[in-house]
Amino acid sequence: MNVTIRPRADFCGEFCIPGDKSITHRAVMFNAAAEGEAHITGALLGEDCLSTAACMRALGAEVRAEGGCVTVRGRETFRDAECDCGNSGTTMRLLMGLLAGRGVHARLTGDASLSARPMERVAAPLRLLGADIATDGGHAPVEVRPAALRGARVQTAVASAQVKSALILAALGAEGESTVCEPLPSRDHTERMLAAMGADIRAEGCTVTVKKSRLRCTDVEVPADISSAAYFLALGALRGEVLCKNVGVNPTRAGILRVFDAMNVRYVLENARTVCGEPVADIRVYKSPLRAVRFGRELMPSLIDEVPVVAVLCAFAEGESVITGAEELRVKESDRIATTAAMIAALGGDCTPTEDGFVIRGKKALAGGNVLSCKDHRIAMSAAVGLAASARGGQIADAGCVNISFPGFYGLLG
């Protein structure tokens, strides 16, 4: 599927963005492993989250979607299963931890893209708790076998919410106390949700301590995904005024707002509130004279998914922007350092990839052109922003990959 994006001299509007993907994954998976029944409203029903739902059904939980609500009836004991995680790294990595101490034999598979992504980064620290996990040369398929887990102190090599979450989920079934330490704080949706579900968990700085716990099903109202809102907010900064409603602004996820501050983007948070333990607000962005920015590793845990669209903003900003510490982008759905640089070049911009990021020399205007998505949803949506703000627009090849995280993106953009 190819999509043509026409240039927009003005881009103004009020948008209701789909639910947060990270929170939807966790709400479905954690409730499927808990006692009782839960209702999840505002859930994202993109392909990745549907993969999580399918895996939990394969393991014996009841998961059904009716209208805008997902109902989950959990079970504390799973059955042996083969779980197809599709393209979802979150599904596979979190399941590795969730299943590690539950006495089941599970085989986790995925599509060609997921099968090329590293899984030992999760399996190795889980083995420190006693997990019996095998990978295929560090990749999927992954086998999780029955094992008795014991508490331990684990220092992770990277600040990754997926690695941390897998360890926390395994620790729920381990004897004794477990402590997970990260080099930098990563997104904390897992800690917030598990605490609400009755887990014995406490977090302080870069450290999370967990004791063996049973979970109770808890209703979840999923806020809009700030990663998905970022594309519309970026177009507002480039071309007009945009209001995105009910967006999750958890500080561990809202690094893009810190980048907006540095880039001179004018925005306000309206109607700030807390929903199911998560901070939420309406975000209004105004057209702004953008300036170049420099940022690095300290922002990556709260920003990693938005880096490609931030790079597009930098391509329109005055001066030279430098992004470092983003080597994690190399192991996403595509090598996002290479594919982001190629996408900006196709738009007519000036972006030099580095080992761990980019050097981007901004221009007041980009010509536009034809872009390859490389079947990566973040690249396709970032390209759509650049094309809409360009002089002549252009076409995105393999554009249907946006359904992984944002079904209906192009319709809303139009």
Structural domain that includes position 238: 3-18+223-413
Degrees, nearest 5: CA angle 321-323-325: 165
CA distance 71 to 253: 26
Q: Check whether 67 has a pLDDT greater than 80.
A: no
pLDDT tens digits, one per residue of 279-338: 999 999 999 999 999 999 999 999 999 999 999 999 999 999 999 999 999 999 999 999
* Whether the bond into 141 is cis, omega within 30 of 0: yes
Chain position carrying tokens 């539950």: 102
Which residue type occupies 371? V
Whether residues 178 and 322 fall in one domain: no
**Whether residues 135 and 272 fall in one domain:** no
Residue that the structure tokens 């094992």 belong to: 147
CA 378 – CA 402 distance, rounded (Å): 7
- Known catalytic residues are 305
For 49-94, give the secondary structure using H, E and C. HHHHHHHHHHCCCEEEEECCEEEEECCCCCCCEEEECCCCHHHHHH
Q: Are 230 and 170 within one domain?
A: no
* 143, 177, 212 - which closes a domain: 212
Instruction: Kindly state the tokens that stand for 158.
Output: 């990277």
23, 222 in Cβ contact below 8 A?
A: yes
State both tokens at 156: 């992770």
Whether residue 186 is found in the same domain as residue 293: no
Question: What domain count does the chain have?
Answer: 2
Question: Are 144 and 279 in the same domain?
Answer: no
Residues 70, 7 share a domain: no
**C-beta of residue 360 within 8 angstroms of C-beta of residue 291:** no
Give 111-170 pLDDT, tens digit per residue: 999 999 999 999 999 999 999 999 999 999 999 999 999 999 999 999 999 999 999 999
> Of residues 18 and 277, which shows the higher confidence score?
18
Read off the amino acid at residue 209.
Answer: T
Mean pLDDT throughout 177-202? Answer: 96
> Do 352 and 391 have their domain in common?
yes
